[in-house]
Amino acid sequence: MANRVVVTGIGVISPVGLDVSSTWQGLVSGRSGVDHITLFDPEPLETRIAAEVKGFEPAQYMDFKEARRCERFVHFAVASSLQAVEDARLKIDATNAEEIGVIIGTGFGGLNLLLSQHQVLLEKGPSRLSPFLAPMMIPDMAPGMVAILLGAKGPNFCTTSSCASGSDAIGVSYEIIRRGDAQVMIAGGTEGTLSLLTVAAFNAARAISTRNHEPQKASRPFDAERDGFVLGDGAAVLVLESLSFATKRGAPILAEVVGYGATADAYHITQPAEGGEGGARAMRVALRKAGLEPGEVDYINAHGTSTPLNDKNETIAIKSVFGEDAYRIPISSTKSMIGHLLGAAGAIEAAISVLTIHHGVITPTINLTCPDPECDLDYVPNVARQKKVDVALTNSFGFGGHNSVLILRRYTEG
């Protein structure tokens, strides 16, 4: 019999807060974390806005010397993991280390380190390259460093599936615990890749907003005036445990993971499949594995990127799966406030879904002032809503046609 899997801890580093509490309060209040870029000079770019993490000090979580050797995406992963482990009241020692694993997804990994060291190579020659370049630029260094710092010796790797990376990390971790290959998984996503190159690349793809004169209004999912997503950075990590392990140690149980569906569009490198059929299939898979009917879902945390094609196709996909219930179920996009965290997006949206169940409050979709007639569902516009949520579904759809869906449920005994 498969193990039940529960969430016992959450850690978050986001554009609206450096921990779970401040992030949650920022989202409930509808505060935007989007502003003019300060990490580098964006003047040459068509887009000069982003959702940056500000005020973060990696030395609060790591030895100063160690922190200097690591990339920003690793800093965020370590910080959110340590927060989550503390929140779960989890002690890792020789008695359980081999039963605890780490999977943290990322889309770009150490791209910024690669860029800076390539410049050193060109200007000063190969002898001046950092000896830490090779290990620290690879995406799997985030879970690797977390495991080293915590002493977690179970399954350890990185998922890289574009914007579904964080969701897939949680979904794969859920499956590992269900089949008994680990008792605890520290799972989530991280991204810290804001740079001249990444913004220019997404500009070239015509994917991101150019609303530089109104940064806080730039991310506007499901709105008729949306013109692209807003890049963000940050991380989120959940502690997942088998119910028996969590119960035995008296852990706080925040929610239960009950479904995970992953599919491919097999259609186009950037555009979603017509009618969002790949995402619809992933939702159906997750519902089937959870043993739930569509009408039992109380809330959907949408992928909701603020791009014309995604929002339209996600709306169509939700209608195809939920039928008339689609008009009843509240849906919201946290990307309206924190931008698109790429490989960390699915993880922070899973964390927000857990908090929605826990607090009975649905975070809003801000900037929804001119609804798109083709996006005609209840997107909880502009103001948070109090509502008891027993079952939450969260969507993550990525470049390359990756679709990942998680379903979380209020924990009940029996």
Catalytically annotated residues:
163, 303, 340
CA distance 32 to 393: 23
Residue length, the chain?
414
- Burial (0-12, 13-18, 19+ Cβ within 10 Å), 290: buried
Q: How many CB atoms lie within 10 A of CB 350?
A: 32
CA distance 207 to 305: 10
* CB 165 within 8 Å of CB 107: yes
Reading the block at residue 204, the tokens are 């070239």
How many helices and strands, by DSSP H and E, does the chain display? 13, 14
For residue 82, give the amino acid letter. L
Q: How many CB atoms lie within 10 A of CB 128?
A: 10
Q: Which of 28, 40, 14, 17 is nearest to 232 (CA)?
A: 14
CA distance 106 to 162: 7
H helix runs in 249-378, sequence order: 277-290, 308-322, 335-338, 345-359
CA–CA distances in Å: residue 405 to residues 38, 278, 368, 382, 402: 33, 11, 24, 25, 10
Reading the block at residue 181, the tokens are 């290959």
CA distance 137 to 46: 27
The residue whose two tokens read 């008891």 is: 388
Q: How many degrees, rounded to 5, is the angle at CA 350 between CA 346 and CA 356?
A: 140
Distance of CA 408 to the CA centre of its chain: 15
